[in-house]
Amino acid sequence: MGMTNNKTVLDWIDQQIALCKPEKVVWIDGSEEQLEALRQEACATGEMYKLNQEKLPGCYLHRSDPTDVARVESRTFICCEKKEDAGPTNNWMDPKEMYAKLNKLYDGSMKGLTMYVIPYCMGVVGSPFAKYGIELTDSIYVVLNMAIMTRVGKDAAAYLDEGFIKGLHAKRDLNPDDRYIVQFPQDNAICSVNSGYGGNVLQGKKCFALRIASNLGRQEGWLAEHMLILGIQNPQGEVRYVTGAFPSACGKTNLAMLIPPEGYQKDGWKCWCVGDDIAWMRVGPDGRLWAVNPENGFFGVAPGTNEKSNPNALHTTQKGTIFTNVALNLDDDTVWWEKLDKNPPHNALDWMGNPWSPETAGGRPAAHPNSRFTAPAKNCPCISPEFENPNGVPISAIIFGGRRAKTAPLVYQSRDWAHGVFVGSIMGSEKTAAAEGTVGETRRDPMAMIPFCGYHMADYWQHWLDMEKSISNPPKIFNVNWFRTDDKGEFIWPGFGENMRVLEWILKRCFDETGARETEIGYLPNVDDINLEGVDVSRETLADLLSVDKALWTEEVAGIRDFYRQFGDKLPKALADELDALEARLKA
């Protein structure tokens, strides 16, 4: 269709056509006419369902196969040449062996089907941060989701000469035993097969923007991170930016779209969302770290999203959104999920398309716990005016967080960059009853990158440590924990919008505008350094939230030693030294 004359691109596509043998090949040009025709086709075949267009204009529902509802870490591979370069936290297979396996699966997989060629851009097209890719897929659902999550079509295709990430996706028969999500860093290539579920097959997101991009960042001297980007505007009108990494189920999307408490709003504070999941960060000419969100939409978890927990996310999903695996309210063709409101529909279909009502469900959820919305970023009421700034936004603070009942205080600041990398490397969450494994056991998830780091985790830490040399004006690094509990297991800190109080302290620390006290684990606020006006938290409770239990931290040191052991002599010496220094301070 003449969207590119690039011979490398065209030859590669021809090879994939010869392999998959589609009946037809269609290039996605990004036009509304073409996308609309595809929506109609998907509705005609039952792949999508058109929702109430008065209440939810441009919105559709899709149900994935019940055996294909989440990312599958056990079937996700990093296929670099040498096993030791993938490290102990990734699955690895020899690239030749993997290609042989995949080629068998792809061979003839698109017979009678259409192959869609999606040229796409991660980042603002033409910006110095942007990277380009092509995903070949036999799924209209993938095309339509990619058109929300990334910039697709002619504009992106015009830049393919700058190099591109090769992506191939075939749904095949969705056999879970032959499901593969594979990254080949040496070839800048991604292959997914036997899945139709978002996180596995929308290749721009985890596969490209994290697993492949983390490799590019290492080679080119920048960082591809699993982080939200949030702008915080103070009453003087100045906007300061933070990025934040959190494991799943820690409220990352809520923090990315935070609404300040009423008192803060009256004083003129505002928050702006730049991104909710991924940050690409480079050193700017001013020596600061600048971040862009390479995505163009949100692929958010639906259950739990409501008018209270995250009104901005809810409003974002009211138009132009694809819902996956939520419940359908048959009375008015709208959608529902657990905790959306207290009025579950009585005449509904659950996420599998079976009749559902609260009376007859017997506790069966209406929506899958990992049901999702794919919504355009521009719908978000608090989307940052800098969202499309090709140079990104300057980062003042990097925040790491997890879910810890006792150990981690509400917030602490690292002593310096290397200590901050240490703080990121020991991130973890305690298992809740919902996750498999022993309740209370800490699952370490350094920088929230365990499933997404495209090379050896210890080399990744070394890359973080090395970045210090090129950042003359580095962001300060912090850790937060919204999840401390009392003796009854109840959360002590109210969280949500009230987290603004912690963000205020963090940003003030970055500009030497507030105090702190030095402890064994880093710098903590004094009780008077956190604003408690207008929130039902006493000074005593805050003091408790800001306490450091030496006995627990001594246990923590032992846990970290255990965790570090698997990285052997690849563990950066700077991190081993940080651990020893922490232990020494606790003993002193």
Identify any residues that bridge with 291 across adjacent strands, giving them in sequence order: 281, 393
Spatial CB neighbours of 366, under 8 Å, sequence gap ≥ 6: 326, 327, 336, 337, 338, 344, 345, 348, 350, 351, 356
Q: Is 191 part of the annotated catalytic residue set?
A: no
Cβ nearer to Mn ion, comparing 122 with 160? 122
Position 225 contacts ligand OXD (CB under 6 A): no
Report the partner that residue 419 touches, choosing among ligand OXD, Mn ion, none (CB closer than 5 to 8 A by kind).
none
Position 204 contacts ligand OXD (CB under 6 A): no
DSSP state of 91: B
Position 277 contacts ligand OXD (CB under 6 A): yes
Shortest CB 411 distance to ligand OXD, Å: 23
Report the partner that residue 350 touches, choosing among ligand OXD, Mn ion, none (CB closer than 5 to 8 A by kind).
none
Cβ nearer to ligand OXD, comparing 91 with 248? 248
What is the C-alpha to C-alpha distance for residues 485 and 405, in angstroms, rounded to an integer? 5
Cβ nearer to ligand OXD, comparing 99 with 323? 323
In the block, residue with structure tokens 């092509």: 134
Total number of residues binding ligand OXD (CB under 6 A)?
4
Name the catalytic one among 121, 191, 207, 250: 250
Position 248 contacts ligand OXD (CB under 6 A): yes
Position 435 contacts ligand OXD (CB under 6 A): no
Q: Which two tokens stand for residue 263?
A: 């008192």
Cβ nearer to Mn ion, comparing 35 with 279? 279
Shortest CB 248 distance to ligand OXD, Å: 5
Among 135, 277, 529, 578, binds Mn ion (CB under 5 A): 277
Shortest CB 279 distance to Mn ion, Å: 11
What is the C-alpha to C-alpha distance for residues 280 and 289, in angstroms, rounded to an integer? 10
What is the C-alpha to C-alpha distance for residues 399 and 480, in angstroms, rounded to an integer? 7
- In this structure, is the dihedral angle defined by the CA atoms of residues 467, 469, 474 and 475, taken in order, positive or negative? positive
Shortest CB 253 distance to ligand OXD, Å: 8
Strand 151-152, strand 49-50: pairing: unpaired
Spatial CB neighbours of 482, under 8 Å, sequence gap ≥ 6: 250, 251, 401, 410, 491, 493, 495, 499
The span of 277-285, 293-301, 513-521, 540-548 binding Mn ion (CB under 5 A) equals 277-285
Q: Which two tokens stand for residue 378?
A: 């521009």
Report the partner that residue 199 touches, choosing among Mn ion, ligand OXD, none (CB closer than 5 to 8 A by kind).
ligand OXD
Cβ nearer to ligand OXD, comparing 4 with 317? 317
DSSP state of 491: B
Position 199 contacts ligand OXD (CB under 6 A): yes
What is the C-alpha to C-alpha distance for residues 321 and 51, in angstroms, rounded to an integer? 10
Shortest CB 226 distance to ligand OXD, Å: 7
- Region 67-106 residues binding ligand OXD, contact defined as CB under 6 A: 71
What is the C-alpha to C-alpha distance for residues 153 and 492, in angstroms, rounded to an integer? 49
Shortest CB 448 distance to ligand OXD, Å: 7
What is the C-alpha to C-alpha distance for residues 150 and 191, in angstroms, rounded to an integer? 18
Residues that bind ligand OXD (CB under 6 A): 71, 199, 248, 277
Just list the catalytic residues.
Answer: 250
